[in-house]
Amino acid sequence: MANHKSALKRIRSSQTKRLRNRYQAKTARTFVKRLKETTDKKEAEDLLKKVSSMLDKLAKRNIIHPKKAANNKSKLTKMVNSM
């Protein structure tokens, strides 16, 4: 267990940030799943814009690796274009 007041605060703030990061990553995964399941091209294009934005934000905040975001966006764009 931590002995310093600053270490205790760091534990609390790290936990808060961890929960926020997990929530954002999970939300993005849910939207990716929803995009993959959709069959309507118009709806897929709208979702693609939203999902791309989410992935960019996750990469910018170092929640996921930037190349993982780029790969996901590329695959999803190919999928939507082939509809």
- 10: CATH: 1.20.58.110
Compute the Cα dihedral for 19, 50, 80, 76 and give only its sign: negative
Tell me which residue range forms the domain holding 71.
5-81
Confidence of residue 83 (pLDDT cuts 50, 70, 90): confident
Domain count along the chain: 1
pLDDT of residue 69: 95
Long-range contacts of 71-74 (CB under 8 A, 24+ apart): 72/32
Give percent of the chain above pLDDT 90. Answer: 92
Tens digit of each residue's pLDDT (9 = 90 or more) over 16-44:
999 999 999 999 999 999 999 998 899 99
- Average pLDDT of every residue of the chain: 93
